[in-house]
Protein backbone atom coordinates (compact mmCIF):
# COMPACT_ATOMS: atom_id res chain seq x y z
CA UNK A 1 0.00 0.00 0.00
CA UNK A 2 2.76 2.44 0.95
CA UNK A 3 6.36 1.45 0.51
CA UNK A 4 8.09 4.31 2.30
CA UNK A 5 7.23 5.61 5.74
CA UNK A 6 7.99 9.31 6.04
CA UNK A 7 9.73 10.57 9.16
CA UNK A 8 7.58 13.71 9.09
CA UNK A 9 4.46 11.63 9.51
CA UNK A 10 6.00 9.91 12.49
CA UNK A 11 6.74 13.28 14.07
CA UNK A 12 3.21 14.55 13.35
CA UNK A 13 1.75 11.46 14.93
CA UNK A 14 3.96 11.82 17.98
CA UNK A 15 2.93 15.47 18.39
CA UNK A 16 -0.72 14.48 18.03
CA UNK A 17 -0.30 11.80 20.69
CA UNK A 18 1.53 14.16 23.04
CA UNK A 19 -1.00 16.98 22.69
CA UNK A 20 -4.01 14.75 23.25
CA UNK A 21 -2.28 13.04 26.15
CA UNK A 22 -1.58 16.43 27.72
CA UNK A 23 -5.18 17.53 27.20
CA UNK A 24 -6.28 14.27 28.78
CA UNK A 25 -4.28 15.20 31.86
CA UNK A 26 -5.60 18.75 32.17
CA UNK A 27 -9.24 18.38 31.03
CA UNK A 28 -12.04 17.71 33.51
CA UNK A 29 -13.66 14.26 33.36
CA UNK A 30 -16.56 15.39 31.17
CA UNK A 31 -14.27 16.89 28.55
CA UNK A 32 -11.98 13.87 28.77
CA UNK A 33 -14.99 11.77 27.80
CA UNK A 34 -15.90 14.18 25.01
CA UNK A 35 -12.33 14.19 23.73
CA UNK A 36 -12.38 10.40 23.56
CA UNK A 37 -15.54 10.65 21.43
CA UNK A 38 -13.70 13.17 19.23
CA UNK A 39 -11.00 10.56 18.63
CA UNK A 40 -13.59 7.89 17.82
CA UNK A 41 -15.40 10.22 15.42
CA UNK A 42 -12.04 11.26 13.95
CA UNK A 43 -11.33 7.67 12.95
CA UNK A 44 -14.89 7.29 11.66
CA UNK A 45 -14.66 10.51 9.65
CA UNK A 46 -11.31 9.40 8.23
CA UNK A 47 -13.18 6.48 6.69
CA UNK A 48 -15.40 9.02 4.90
CA UNK A 49 -12.34 11.07 3.94
CA UNK A 50 -10.89 8.01 2.19
CA UNK A 51 -14.14 6.94 0.63
CA UNK A 52 -15.65 10.23 -0.45
CA UNK A 53 -12.83 12.76 -0.24
CA UNK A 54 -10.11 10.66 -1.79
CA UNK A 55 -11.90 8.19 -4.05
CA UNK A 56 -15.18 9.98 -4.76
CA UNK A 57 -17.59 7.29 -3.51
CA UNK A 58 -20.53 8.44 -1.41
CA UNK A 59 -21.57 6.47 1.65
CA UNK A 60 -24.44 7.28 3.97
CA UNK A 61 -23.98 4.09 5.94
CA UNK A 62 -20.64 4.37 7.73
CA UNK A 63 -22.61 3.96 10.97
CA UNK A 64 -23.50 0.44 9.83
CA UNK A 65 -19.85 -0.42 9.36
CA UNK A 66 -19.17 1.03 12.78
CA UNK A 67 -21.87 -1.30 14.07
CA UNK A 68 -20.07 -4.25 12.47
CA UNK A 69 -16.98 -3.28 14.42
CA UNK A 70 -18.95 -2.68 17.61
CA UNK A 71 -20.87 -5.95 17.56
CA UNK A 72 -17.77 -7.97 16.63
CA UNK A 73 -15.84 -6.38 19.45
CA UNK A 74 -18.66 -7.04 21.93
CA UNK A 75 -19.09 -10.64 20.81
CA UNK A 76 -15.34 -11.18 21.02
CA UNK A 77 -15.30 -9.97 24.61
CA UNK A 78 -18.50 -11.65 25.76
CA UNK A 79 -18.36 -14.94 23.86
CA UNK A 80 -14.67 -15.54 23.19
CA UNK A 81 -13.31 -14.02 26.37
CA UNK A 82 -10.96 -11.68 24.53
CA UNK A 83 -9.74 -8.53 26.21
CA UNK A 84 -10.76 -5.24 24.65
CA UNK A 85 -7.68 -4.60 22.55
CA UNK A 86 -7.61 -8.15 21.17
CA UNK A 87 -11.27 -7.76 20.37
CA UNK A 88 -10.69 -4.43 18.64
CA UNK A 89 -8.22 -6.07 16.27
CA UNK A 90 -10.73 -8.85 15.70
CA UNK A 91 -13.43 -6.28 14.94
CA UNK A 92 -11.22 -4.44 12.43
CA UNK A 93 -10.70 -7.73 10.58
CA UNK A 94 -14.46 -8.37 10.51
CA UNK A 95 -15.06 -4.86 9.22
CA UNK A 96 -12.48 -5.33 6.48
CA UNK A 97 -14.39 -8.43 5.33
CA UNK A 98 -17.72 -6.56 5.53
CA UNK A 99 -16.17 -3.72 3.55
CA UNK A 100 -14.90 -6.13 0.92
CA UNK A 101 -18.38 -7.60 0.45
CA UNK A 102 -19.93 -4.14 0.37
CA UNK A 103 -17.18 -2.92 -1.93
CA UNK A 104 -17.94 -5.60 -4.53
CA UNK A 105 -21.48 -4.22 -4.72
CA UNK A 106 -20.40 -0.61 -4.44
CA UNK A 107 -17.93 -0.89 -7.30
CA UNK A 108 -20.87 -1.44 -9.63
CA UNK A 109 -22.77 1.59 -8.32
CA UNK A 110 -22.13 5.29 -8.18
CA UNK A 111 -23.67 8.56 -7.06
CA UNK A 112 -27.19 8.38 -5.57
CA UNK A 113 -27.45 4.61 -6.18
CA UNK A 114 -24.43 3.99 -4.00
CA UNK A 115 -25.65 6.48 -1.39
CA UNK A 116 -29.07 4.77 -1.33
CA UNK A 117 -27.56 1.30 -0.97
CA UNK A 118 -25.35 2.30 1.94
CA UNK A 119 -28.28 4.11 3.58
CA UNK A 120 -30.40 0.96 3.43
CA UNK A 121 -27.61 -1.01 5.07
CA UNK A 122 -27.52 1.51 7.91
CA UNK A 123 -31.29 1.22 8.29
CA UNK A 124 -31.11 -2.58 8.37
CA UNK A 125 -28.95 -2.75 11.50
CA UNK A 126 -31.83 -2.57 14.04
CA UNK A 127 -33.72 -5.26 12.12
CA UNK A 128 -30.73 -7.59 12.16
CA UNK A 129 -30.14 -7.00 15.86
CA UNK A 130 -33.74 -7.94 16.58
CA UNK A 131 -33.95 -10.81 14.11
CA UNK A 132 -30.95 -12.53 15.72
CA UNK A 133 -31.69 -11.39 19.23
CA UNK A 134 -30.00 -14.32 20.95
CA UNK A 135 -26.71 -13.30 19.34
CA UNK A 136 -26.95 -9.50 19.19
CA UNK A 137 -29.13 -8.86 22.23
CA UNK A 138 -31.98 -7.21 20.32
CA UNK A 139 -32.81 -3.62 21.23
CA UNK A 140 -31.26 -4.07 24.66
CA UNK A 141 -27.85 -4.64 23.08
CA UNK A 142 -24.66 -6.01 24.59
CA UNK A 143 -22.98 -4.46 27.62
CA UNK A 144 -19.25 -3.98 27.13
CA UNK A 145 -16.77 -1.37 28.26
CA UNK A 146 -13.10 -0.51 28.38
CA UNK A 147 -12.98 -1.83 31.93
CA UNK A 148 -10.41 -0.76 34.48
CA UNK A 149 -6.92 0.41 33.49
CA UNK A 150 -4.10 -2.09 34.04
CA UNK A 151 -2.14 -1.65 37.25
CA UNK A 152 1.14 -0.89 35.45
CA UNK A 153 -0.57 2.04 33.73
CA UNK A 154 -1.95 3.35 37.03
CA UNK A 155 1.52 3.02 38.56
CA UNK A 156 2.92 4.96 35.64
CA UNK A 157 0.59 7.95 35.53
CA UNK A 158 -1.27 7.78 38.84
CA UNK A 159 -4.94 7.49 39.74
CA UNK A 160 -7.10 7.52 36.66
CA UNK A 161 -10.80 8.23 36.19
CA UNK A 162 -13.27 6.32 34.01
CA UNK A 163 -13.41 9.00 31.29
CA UNK A 164 -9.66 9.52 31.38
CA UNK A 165 -9.01 5.82 30.89
CA UNK A 166 -11.51 5.80 28.05
CA UNK A 167 -9.49 8.60 26.40
CA UNK A 168 -6.10 7.02 27.01
CA UNK A 169 -7.31 3.65 25.76
CA UNK A 170 -8.60 5.27 22.57
CA UNK A 171 -5.55 7.44 21.94
CA UNK A 172 -3.10 4.75 20.70
CA UNK A 173 -5.65 3.51 18.16
CA UNK A 174 -6.39 7.06 16.99
CA UNK A 175 -2.66 7.70 16.67
CA UNK A 176 -2.14 4.53 14.62
CA UNK A 177 -5.10 5.52 12.45
CA UNK A 178 -3.61 8.98 11.95
CA UNK A 179 -0.18 7.58 11.08
CA UNK A 180 -1.72 5.15 8.62
CA UNK A 181 -3.81 7.91 7.04
CA UNK A 182 -0.88 10.33 6.74
CA UNK A 183 1.16 7.75 4.89
CA UNK A 184 -1.74 6.60 2.77
CA UNK A 185 -2.45 10.14 1.59
CA UNK A 186 1.00 10.49 0.07
CA UNK A 187 1.35 6.93 -1.15
CA UNK A 188 0.85 5.51 -4.61
CA UNK A 189 -2.47 4.09 -3.42
CA UNK A 190 -3.64 7.53 -2.30
CA UNK A 191 -2.71 9.00 -5.67
CA UNK A 192 -4.54 6.18 -7.43
CA UNK A 193 -7.67 6.88 -5.38
CA UNK A 194 -7.51 10.56 -6.30
CA UNK A 195 -7.06 9.63 -9.95
CA UNK A 196 -10.19 7.42 -9.79
CA UNK A 197 -12.11 10.22 -8.09
CA UNK A 198 -11.08 12.85 -10.66
CA UNK A 199 -11.57 10.86 -13.85
CA UNK A 200 -12.24 7.15 -13.94
CA UNK A 201 -11.46 6.73 -17.65
CA UNK A 202 -8.21 8.66 -17.38
CA UNK A 203 -7.27 6.61 -14.35
CA UNK A 204 -8.04 3.44 -16.23
CA UNK A 205 -5.89 4.58 -19.20
CA UNK A 206 -3.09 5.26 -16.73
CA UNK A 207 -3.16 1.61 -15.79
CA UNK A 208 -5.23 1.74 -12.63
CA UNK A 209 -7.74 -1.05 -12.16
CA UNK A 210 -10.67 1.17 -11.22
CA UNK A 211 -12.99 -1.57 -10.00
CA UNK A 212 -10.33 -3.13 -7.82
CA UNK A 213 -9.28 0.23 -6.47
CA UNK A 214 -12.88 1.11 -5.52
CA UNK A 215 -13.26 -2.17 -3.67
CA UNK A 216 -9.95 -1.61 -1.95
CA UNK A 217 -11.06 1.85 -0.81
CA UNK A 218 -14.20 0.36 0.70
CA UNK A 219 -12.14 -2.27 2.50
CA UNK A 220 -9.76 0.29 4.03
CA UNK A 221 -12.57 2.72 4.90
CA UNK A 222 -14.53 -0.12 6.52
CA UNK A 223 -11.53 -1.05 8.61
CA UNK A 224 -11.39 2.50 9.96
CA UNK A 225 -15.15 2.62 10.54
CA UNK A 226 -15.01 -0.75 12.30
CA UNK A 227 -12.22 0.47 14.56
CA UNK A 228 -14.20 3.61 15.41
CA UNK A 229 -17.35 1.55 16.02
CA UNK A 230 -15.60 -0.91 18.29
CA UNK A 231 -14.31 1.86 20.53
CA UNK A 232 -17.61 3.74 20.40
CA UNK A 233 -19.37 0.63 21.71
CA UNK A 234 -16.79 0.16 24.44
CA UNK A 235 -18.11 3.34 26.09
CA UNK A 236 -20.80 1.17 27.67
CA UNK A 237 -23.08 -0.60 25.23
CA UNK A 238 -23.35 -1.98 21.73
CA UNK A 239 -26.91 -1.80 20.42
CA UNK A 240 -29.07 -0.46 17.61
CA UNK A 241 -29.61 2.90 19.31
CA UNK A 242 -25.83 3.36 19.58
CA UNK A 243 -25.42 3.19 15.80
CA UNK A 244 -28.54 4.93 14.45
CA UNK A 245 -28.76 6.38 10.97
CA UNK A 246 -28.13 9.79 12.51
CA UNK A 247 -24.62 8.62 13.46
CA UNK A 248 -23.77 8.14 9.78
CA UNK A 249 -25.14 11.59 9.02
CA UNK A 250 -23.23 13.12 11.94
CA UNK A 251 -19.97 11.68 10.60
CA UNK A 252 -20.75 12.99 7.13
CA UNK A 253 -21.58 16.41 8.58
CA UNK A 254 -18.25 16.45 10.42
CA UNK A 255 -16.41 15.43 7.26
CA UNK A 256 -18.02 18.19 5.17
CA UNK A 257 -17.62 20.90 7.81
CA UNK A 258 -14.00 20.03 8.50
CA UNK A 259 -13.02 19.38 4.92
CA UNK A 260 -13.67 16.20 3.00
CA UNK A 261 -10.24 15.91 1.48
CA UNK A 262 -7.95 16.40 4.42
CA UNK A 263 -6.91 14.55 7.54
CA UNK A 264 -6.84 17.79 9.51
CA UNK A 265 -10.37 18.42 8.27
CA UNK A 266 -11.48 15.07 9.66
CA UNK A 267 -10.16 16.06 13.08
CA UNK A 268 -11.66 19.57 12.93
CA UNK A 269 -15.00 18.05 11.86
CA UNK A 270 -14.91 15.60 14.77
CA UNK A 271 -14.20 18.42 17.23
CA UNK A 272 -17.06 20.46 15.76
CA UNK A 273 -19.76 17.79 15.91
CA UNK A 274 -18.79 16.75 19.45
CA UNK A 275 -18.22 20.14 21.07
CA UNK A 276 -20.69 22.30 19.13
CA UNK A 277 -23.73 21.09 21.15
CA UNK A 278 -21.83 21.87 24.38
CA UNK A 279 -20.95 25.33 23.15
CA UNK A 280 -24.53 26.02 22.09
CA UNK A 281 -25.83 24.71 25.39
CA UNK A 282 -23.56 27.01 27.36
CA UNK A 283 -24.52 29.96 25.15
CA UNK A 284 -28.24 29.17 25.36
CA UNK A 285 -27.83 28.99 29.14
CA UNK A 286 -26.20 32.43 29.14
CA UNK A 287 -28.91 33.90 26.92
CA UNK A 288 -31.70 32.10 28.79
CA UNK A 289 -33.14 30.49 25.68
CA UNK A 290 -36.23 28.38 26.38
CA UNK A 291 -35.50 24.62 26.45
CA UNK A 292 -38.09 23.96 23.74
CA UNK A 293 -35.93 26.09 21.40
CA UNK A 294 -32.55 25.26 22.93
CA UNK A 295 -33.11 21.51 22.44
CA UNK A 296 -33.25 21.98 18.68
CA UNK A 297 -30.45 24.55 18.43
CA UNK A 298 -27.47 22.17 17.95
CA UNK A 299 -29.16 20.40 15.04
CA UNK A 300 -30.26 23.71 13.55
CA UNK A 301 -26.83 25.33 13.85
CA UNK A 302 -25.15 22.23 12.38
CA UNK A 303 -27.58 22.30 9.46
CA UNK A 304 -26.98 26.00 8.81
CA UNK A 305 -23.21 25.51 8.99
CA UNK A 306 -23.50 22.57 6.60
CA UNK A 307 -25.46 24.63 4.08
CA UNK A 308 -23.07 27.57 4.39
CA UNK A 309 -20.08 25.27 3.97
CA UNK A 310 -21.46 23.65 0.84
CA UNK A 311 -22.42 27.00 -0.70
CA UNK A 312 -19.54 29.23 0.40
CA UNK A 313 -16.63 26.97 1.22
CA UNK A 314 -17.07 23.46 -0.21
CA UNK A 315 -13.55 22.49 0.81
CA UNK A 316 -14.52 22.85 4.48
CA UNK A 317 -12.54 24.58 7.20
CA UNK A 318 -9.31 22.70 6.49
CA UNK A 319 -9.64 23.35 2.78
CA UNK A 320 -10.22 27.04 3.43
CA UNK A 321 -7.17 27.25 5.67
CA UNK A 322 -5.08 25.45 3.07
CA UNK A 323 -6.01 27.98 0.37
CA UNK A 324 -5.13 30.88 2.67
CA UNK A 325 -1.56 29.65 3.11
CA UNK A 326 0.98 31.84 1.29
CA UNK A 327 2.51 29.98 -1.59
CA UNK A 328 6.24 29.69 -1.77
CA UNK A 329 7.80 30.58 -5.07
Partner 1 sequence: MNIRASLSRKKLIGLTAVLIAGSMTLAEIPANAADPGVSASEIVLGMQLPETGPASPGYNKVDDAMRAYFDYVNSKGGIGGKKIRLEVKDDTYKAGLTISTASSLINKEKVFAFIGSIGTQTHISVIKDINRRKIPDVFVNSGFSDFYNPATYPTTFAALGTYVTEAKIMGKYLKEKYADKKIGILYQSDDFGRNSLEGFAKAGLTFEAKKTSADFIAGTQGSVGLASQLTQLKANGVEIVIIAAVSSATAVALLTASALGYKPDKWAVISVGSDATTFQTIAGSKGIPASMSAAMLTGLISASHAPAPGDSADEYVTAFKKINDDFNKGADKRWDNNVMQGMNIGYMATGALKGTLNPKSTFSAKNNKTCQANAKKNILTRVCFIDYIESNGSNIESAAFTALQYSATTHEAFSGFWIGAYDAATVLQPVSGTRVVYTTDSGNGPVTVSSYKRPAIAADALPKN
Which residues of this protein are in contact with partner 1, per CB under 8 A? 28-30, 33-34, 37, 126-127, 130, 138-141, 143, 145, 162-163, 232, 235-237, 239-244, 246-247, 278, 290-292, 295-296
Residue 256: CB minimum distance to partner 1, A: 20
Between 139 and 198, whose beta carbon lies closer to partner 1? 139
> From the CA atom positions of the chain, what is the Rg in Å?
20
The residue (of 6 and 130) whose beta carbon lies closer to partner 1 is 130
Whole-number minimum distance, CB 39 to partner 1, in Å? 14
Phi-psi region of 111 (alpha: psi -120 to 50; beta: other; left: phi over 0): left
Nearest approach, Cβ of residue 111 and partner 1 (Å): 24
Residue 273 and residue 253 in contact, taking contact as beta carbons nearer than 8 Å: yes
DSSP-based three-state secondary structure for 289: coil
Nearest distance, CB of residue 220 and partner 1, angstroms: 24
Q: Which is nearer to partner 1, 151 or 292 (CB)?
A: 292
Minimum gap (Å) between residue 73 Cβ and partner 1: 15
Q: Which is nearer to partner 1, 205 or 293 (CB)?
A: 293
Rounded Cα distance, 101 and 328, in Å: 45
The residue among 83 and 246 lying less far from partner 1, judged by its C-beta, is: 246
Three-state SS at 74: helix
Burial of 97 (C-beta count, 10 Å sphere; 0-12/13-18/19+): middle
* Cβ atoms < 10 Å from Cβ of 239: 24
Amino acid sequence: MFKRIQTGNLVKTFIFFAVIFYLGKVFDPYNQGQLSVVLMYFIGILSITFLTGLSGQISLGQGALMAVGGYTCALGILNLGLNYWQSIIFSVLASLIAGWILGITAARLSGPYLAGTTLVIALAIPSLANRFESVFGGDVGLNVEFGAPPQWFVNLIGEIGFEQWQLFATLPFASIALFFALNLFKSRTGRSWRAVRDHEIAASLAGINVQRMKIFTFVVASGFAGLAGAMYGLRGIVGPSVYPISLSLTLLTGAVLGGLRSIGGAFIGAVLVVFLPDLIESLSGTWEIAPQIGNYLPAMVSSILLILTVVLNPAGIAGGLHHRKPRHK
